[in-house]
A = this chain, B = another copy of it.
């Protein structure tokens, strides 16, 4: 246990915070900061964000009466301090209990948590709704939304701001202004915000006033007692008010890291410890990945590990694009605010110059913006995490697919993973592959991945078919593929004879081994598993079974599917995402609906393996694979059962 946690040890609920005098509140903040730094080094997490709001959170609980007063933390990755103060401090001080709480607010953990949130910008809308019902039903209590740290660039946050004044009534919006988004501030509003800070909150234009909102400014948002005064002033307000607090993200990390020996920490100066210029150095400095602002801190346990798949393949993609920048001025990487997690390094961004645009946390804008780039002849590549792309669903339909703009999407963390429930990639193919006109590729090797990127982003060519003619989603390979590549596993690769003489197209399914009786189709990350199952089954049956790497899931390759008739009694599809609305069911339905077109050839039966339609929260990938029968043993057993039954229906 760290030294000097005397006060924190006494906090079991917000009531215990309210007992403290001004000096003790400051002392408590110090202890919390120390706890956060220690926790961050050991466990990882959104430490920078939380260090910035230590005082604000303590002040909120000193002034407001949670849960009667409802506090909504936008995106909620900055809720660690809130959790410490609401009965969950041991989950941050006792390493044995670190796993007891999630990284986000969660009503199942505590009545002080209003929502499970992990996507940005909705706190004001949620708070407006809470306040609306309170006012309709004669309820009481304050409603507080805490937003900032880049979230204010999200469109839905502006929609919420515009709603707040119109609705009226008690609503307090704490704008946590730490001068940055995830990897630096982005956008025209940051200049006026800087002038607002410089004028101690008096300058115009004041964007909050422009949305019709009352406004207060707290210059030192890391002074707990100043915050207590400000919050007391607005508590029980009869109208919506914004409290703009100027905080310093990551405040205190250097003090904590001084105890450690990691070089990266010394990169953070006292003056601007977490600013973007110091961030995203994770390539060069062991520990400075901490300051990839909103994102996962690299804990001690991760030191020295090789890049995860996102960083690995992201770096490969950026390197391939970078080579083309001099000759292709319209080639542009567009990132809605999470570059570092996806291998889009600080050094790359510096070199890319105008070829790189961080749009802030604005997925809708990013995809529409890319459509504009493409329409004018440029080649945009939009890169972010699969679940965040959900926020641009309508833009995929309208501006990208319907307009056939040559937008390329790099879809990171798609498919099954041990992620929390707000960031799961299990639903990406259900989203993307059912949109008409969107091509969805799932490369299963480094070479495929780079070839797909080249095909999607190639200039218009004289030869039709040598490049995409509309928007393309490339699912970035995950750990099953990277692990296989690193281990030197030679997966069966494209065998052109399977498809006749046609050239390799990204749209052709790849029959990588031609056998009989059973065909195993492994989509994307499921391909290495498919290959293992095919090997084992072939040995068992005493003859090759057919293996297919479909490589894309936005259309069915009828040549490949028809080639399985007659010689195959069973087709097995494997995918590492949701079965319902997913890919395998389309294969099943294909054969079910095409029986009458091939009188001579018997239909193969089809079975599908993939994920159940459900939310999962931090269940490890191996556990998910067990749960869904996506293991070699489970699949072999299931295939044996099917074969034993024969064509008995």
Contact = CB atoms under 8 A, between A and B. Distances in A.
A442 interface: no
A133 interface: yes
Interface stretch (A113-121, A280-288, A302-310, A506-514): A113-121
Interface string A120-157: 01100111111111111111000000000000011111
Contacts of A329: 136-138
Copies in the complex: 2
Contact of A362 (B126, B137, B162): B162
A362 B648 CA distance: 55
B595 A375 contact: no
A10 to B, nearest CB: 31
Nearest to A134: B376
Contact of A365 (B156, B373, B603): B156
Contacts of A403: 107, 115-116
A85 to B, nearest CB: 21
A270 interface: no
A154 B159 contact: yes
Contacts of A635: none
A394 B155 CA distance: 13
A115 B191 CA distance: 32
A595 B649 contact: yes
A13 interface: no
B189 A162 contact: yes
Given A371-B129, A581-B430, A603-B649, A362 B398 contact: no
A608 interface: yes
B187 A377 contact: no
A188 B159 contact: no
A589 B164 CA distance: 47
B399 A133 contact: no
B372 A119 contact: no
Interface residues of A, number: 132
A359 interface: yes
A219 to B, nearest CB: 20
Nearest to A612: B436
Contacts of A398: 116-119, 122, 422
A360 interface: yes
Interface in A176-190: 186-190
A645 interface: yes
Interface in A16-56: none
Interface stretch (A201-209, A488-496, A497-505, A517-525): A201-209
A581 B434 contact: yes
Contact of A402 (B192, B593, B615): B615
Interface stretch (A210-218, A228-236, A293-301, A342-350): A210-218
B130 A376 contact: yes
A208 to B, nearest CB: 8
A115 B615 contact: no
9 contacts: A125-B399, A129-B371, A136-B355, A154-B155, A162-B360, A165-B191, A205-B207, A436-B615, A592-B608
Interface of A: 70, 72, 107, 114-119, 121-122, 125-139, 153-167, 186-192, 204-207, 209-213, 240, 329-330, 332, 354-355, 357, 359-360, 362, 364-365, 368-378, 380, 387, 390-391, 393-395, 397-399, 401-403, 421-422, 427, 430-431, 433-437, 578-582, 584-586, 588-589, 592-593, 595-596, 602-603, 605-608, 613-615, 641-642, 645, 647-649
